Amino acid sequence: MTIEAALKAKFPTDVCDALLAAYKEIEESFSLQKWKATELDAGHFVEASRRLIEQELLGSYTPIGKSLPGFSDAELKKYENAAGDESLRMLIPRVLKSIFNIRNKRGIGHLGLISANEMDSTLILYSVKWVLAEFVRLATGADPSATQKMIDSIVERRIGVLWKQDGITRVLENKMEARDQVLVLLFDSNPLAENELQKITEYRNTTNFRKILKRLHNSRMIDWTVGGKAFITPKGSAAAEAVILKYRPK
């Protein structure tokens, strides 16, 4: 079962769509170091999350398109006093309130002394990951480890240097080295088979292509077996993000 299916089996469909869309936007903006966009998108995530809480604790939710009640201490108290799971009553709302406060008081949603920055964006990213994981856990009963794997699977990074159509994937930047193409492709879809990477990059010489993969493997950018699959590592992901930023339109 996918995360989308799991959430929609328990929560309102339109709110689940809004929640997952906001989460994906946060992931994408963060990966491209767009701190302000990351923190602005978090506002949509908070609004969708509050509607799920309303539905579960209060029996109905504010329709999308209508304004939610102010996110005040009184609203937190209303959640806390409702009947329901402790995570919905106390834990999730307080995490959402911290996200909401950063978005509104750090020069993101409004002018402020502190501008959007990596530190605040990192807090927001991992906070929304935790909130989403809690919703999935409540919907499925899965343990935290299984829940995290499900969450990782929903992120489809939209990368400007890639073009996809009818099952075809191509790297649009023709000056990008094969090494960097491999990293970007694995950052987008992990893992990929060796022959699929060679096909997408249109690298003709298999022996030389394997030398490229071997160097990436030795430098711990990827984990690869000859003729098998290649997996990107955290070190490789960081390098791929740098490549994407390098070729991003100014």
The pLDDT of residue 39 is 84
The pLDDT of residue 141 is 86
Q: Are residues 140 and 49 in the same domain?
A: yes
Q: What is the mean pLDDT of the chain?
A: 88
**Top-confidence range, 48-57, 167-176, 181-190:** 48-57
Q: Which domain holds residue 200?
A: 162-247
The pLDDT of residue 119 is 86
Q: Are residues 113 and 17 in the same domain?
A: yes
Residue range 28-43, pLDDT digits in tens: 888 777 888 888 889 9
What CATH number does the domain containing 217 carry? Answer: 1.10.10.10
The pLDDT of residue 249 is 56
* Res. 162: pLDDT tops 70: yes
Q: Could you tell me which residue, 16 or 245, shows the higher pLDDT?
A: 16
Backbone angles phi, psi at 178, to 5 degrees: -60, -40
Domain boundary among 153, 186, 218: 153
Q: Are residues 231 and 198 in the same domain?
A: yes
Q: Are residues 210 and 180 in the same domain?
A: yes
Backbone angles phi, psi at 111, to 5 degrees: -65, 140
Question: Is the Cβ–Cβ distance between 238 and 219 less than 8 Å?
Answer: no
Q: What is the mean pLDDT of residues 178-187?
A: 96
Domain boundary among 123, 153, 183: 153
Q: Could you tell me which residue, 114 or 151, shows the higher pLDDT?
A: 151
Q: Give the torsion through C-alpha atoms of 196, 197, 203, 209, to 10 deg.
A: -120
Distance CA 185, CA 200 (A): 9
Q: Could you tell me which residue, 79 or 143, shows the higher pLDDT?
A: 79
Q: Is the pTM of this model over 0.85?
A: no
Number of domains in the chain: 2
